[in-house]
């Protein structure tokens, strides 16, 4: 394979919003942005084969360092030839740093200057994540895009808490650049810094400034979608995104409801990931052009129309609400497969329509019309 460096090129800029389309070039293929990355927490996008994930429209998959480190272990995946080979996904992979999972899933965490102590949510065993450690794990996995370790705080958090977490995140980011720059370049892995600062404008500004100095090839915006009202998240994006370098990809971490995708794109975001579409699917809720529909409900027991009559996905072409509801009700695996297929198709299709709207300079109208009918 010839060497294709990591690169990002903006292709269209919307004139009415900050929306833009671009091409993200990685060794394993190009990614058209704005892009939604489905989450393959444990080396699988839940319920789907990699072929299905690809045919639904995925260009890149996200996987979780925390989960894979604990099970089956990054050494095992390295022995298997890396995560791509292990899970048989040939496209690009982004791995997170595990920061978010350590703070949201693992019990008994203690943050030190050196790193974070935590217990496994699986067997209670104690572990220590440092910036160097999580980078080594992500290198063993063979991620195309890796993320720096960050300290995630919940919403609401005080100014002091937020500032402390931000300082730690920046100091950890420094350690990547000093220790690992050479190793990373050799592995052809790109690493994104993560901007923290909660909902405080001056802290977001400070975080952005400090990370820009470190000259990462891309930036994650972290610490959002952690319980704050959507309007506050949009406000943070309004004042944070303009501070970021124009020619580098911007990744809004953990965000993925249809309305947030549209609002994020409008504010200049290029990349998203979220478990929401697949998690909702497993709980029996599907997206339609009219908004969310709880297909699990008895109301649909005798409804022989597709989940969304305007949808062209495999599920909608072949099965009825009544059948999908029966499967969910009877706890049949096929039920959550069919809803997962539908929801991911819906999101990938939305992203495709967003890109086309930007290219045709009608993104604002498209967004307005979509949100008029889509009730979240």
The only residue of 23, 209, 247, 304 in contact with a second copy, by rule CB under 8 A = 304
What length is written for the chain?
Answer: 376
- Residues 137, 146: Cα–Cα separation, whole Å: 10
Scanning 38-46, 111-119, 234-242, 261-269 for contacts with a second copy by CB under 8 A, the matching segment is: 38-46
Name which of 9 and 85 has its Cβ closer to a second copy: 85
Name which of 288 and 340 has its Cβ closer to a second copy: 340
The only residue of 31, 149, 336, 351 in contact with a second copy, by rule CB under 8 A = 336
327 is a contact residue toward a second copy (CB under 8 A): yes
The most distant pair of C-alpha atoms in the chain lies apart, rounded to whole Å, by: 62
The only residue of 81, 154, 156, 291 in contact with a second copy, by rule CB under 8 A = 81
The only residue of 74, 204, 337, 355 in contact with a second copy, by rule CB under 8 A = 337
Q: In what order do the strands lie in the sheet with 20-26?
A: 7-13, 20-26, 29-33
76 is a contact residue toward a second copy (CB under 8 A): yes
Residue in 14, 270, 273, 308 annotated catalytic: 273
Here the contacts of 203-210 (C-beta below 8 Å, separation 24 or greater) are 203/159, 203/162, 203/163, 203/166, 204/236, 204/239, 204/240, 204/243, 205/239, 205/240, 205/243, 206/166, 207/166, 207/169, 207/170, 208/240, 208/243, 208/244, 209/243, 210/170, 210/173
376 assigned to active site? no
Decide the pairing of beta strands 219-221 and 190-195: parallel
* Least separation in angstroms between CB 303 and a second copy: 10
Which residues in 95-114 contact a second copy (CB under 8 A)? none
Scanning 25-33, 36-44, 130-138, 193-201 for contacts with a second copy by CB under 8 A, the matching segment is: 36-44
Classify residue 298 by its DSSP letter.
Answer: G
Q: Which token pair is 202?
A: 């001056």
- Residues 341, 45: Cα–Cα separation, whole Å: 11
* Residue ranges in contact with a second copy by CB under 8 A: 42-44, 46-50, 71-72, 76, 79-81, 86-88, 301-302, 304, 318-320, 322-323, 326-327, 329-330, 332-334, 336-337
Which residues are annotated as catalytic? 96, 273
């Amino acid at each position: 394979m010839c060497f294709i460096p990591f690169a990002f090129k903006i292709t269209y800029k919307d004139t009415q919003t900050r929306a833009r389309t671009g091409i993200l070039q990685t060794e394993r293929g190009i990614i058209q942005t704005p892009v939604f990355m489905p989450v393959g927490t444990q080396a699988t996008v839940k319920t789907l084969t990699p072929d299905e994930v690809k045919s639904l429209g995925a260009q890149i998959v996200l996987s979780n360092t925390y989960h894979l480190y604990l099970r089956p272990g990054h050494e095992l995946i390295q022995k298997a030839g890396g995560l791509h080979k292990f899970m048989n996904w040939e496209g690009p992979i982004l791995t997170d740093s595990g920061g978010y999972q350590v703070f949201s899933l693992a019990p008994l965490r203690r943050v030190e200057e050196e790193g974070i102590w935590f217990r496994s949510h699986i067997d209670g065993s104690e572990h220590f994540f440092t910036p160097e450690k999580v980078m080594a794990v992500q290198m063993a996995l063979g991620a195309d895009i890796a993320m720096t370790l960050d300290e995630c705080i919940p919403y609401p958090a005080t100014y002091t808490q937020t500032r402390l977490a931000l300082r730690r995140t920046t100091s950890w980011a420094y350690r990547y650049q000093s220790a690992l720059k050479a190793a990373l370049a050799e592995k052809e892995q790109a690493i994104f810094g993560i901007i923290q600062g909660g909902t405080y404008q001056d802290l977001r500004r400070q975080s952005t400034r400090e990370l820009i100095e470190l000259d990462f090839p891309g930036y994650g915006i972290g610490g959002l979608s952690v319980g704050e009202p959507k309007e506050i998240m949009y406000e943070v994006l309004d004042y944070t995104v303009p501070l970021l370098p124009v020619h580098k990809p911007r990744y809004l971490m953990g965000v993925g409801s249809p309305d947030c995708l549209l609002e994020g794109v409008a504010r200049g975001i290029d990349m998203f990931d979220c478990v929401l579409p697949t998690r909702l699917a497993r709980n029996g809720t599907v997206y339609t052009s009219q908004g969310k529909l709880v297909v699990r409900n008895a109301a649909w027991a005798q409804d022989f129309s597709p989940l969304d009559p305007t949808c062209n996905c495999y599920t909608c072409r072949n099965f009825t609400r009544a059948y999908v509801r029966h499967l969910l009700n009877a706890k049949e695996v096929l039920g959550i497969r069919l809803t997962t297929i539908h929801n991911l198709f819906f999101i990938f299709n939305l992203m495709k329509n967003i890109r086309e709207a930007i290219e045709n300079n009608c993104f604002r109208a498209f967004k307005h019309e979509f949100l008029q009918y889509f009730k979240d």
